[in-house]
Amino acid sequence: MKPLIYLEEALRQKEQALIQYVRYMREAQDSQNAEIAALFADLAKAEEKHIVVIRDQLARLSGNKDLLNRYQQISRDYAQHPEEALEH
């Protein structure tokens, strides 16, 4: 089913964008640029919201509830250890 393939690709792209925004945010923090760090933090939050919507639609359309559990675990890991979670 093509819509699932498109959603999966969009999800991968959003995940990569999220990782990049977090990296850019950290670089800005390291260079003491709070304004740019806040910008990238906001962009990362927006990507997280997109990821949730796409993930939920994928799970609903595919009937794969394990997909939700995987992302819940990643979110939990990220909240506890942000630097390690990005390696997943």
Sequence letter at residue 10: A
Predicted local distance difference test score (pLDDT) of residue 23:
97
The CA-atom distances, in angstroms, between 16 and each of 23, 29, 39, 63 are: 11, 20, 17, 24
Residue ranges of domains in the chain: 2-85
Take residue 39 and report the two structure tokens written for it.
Answer: 């910008």
Question: Which pLDDT score, from 0 to 100, does residue 80 have?
Answer: 62
Give me the tens of pLDDT residue by residue for the chain, a chain 88 residues long: 688 899 999 999 999 999 999 999 999 999 999 999 999 999 999 999 999 999 989 888 888 666 556 656 666 666 666 555 444 4
Whole-model pTM: value is 0.69
**DSSP classification of residue 84:** H
What 3-state class would DSSP assign to 65? coil
Cα 28 vs. chain centroid, distance in angstroms? 19
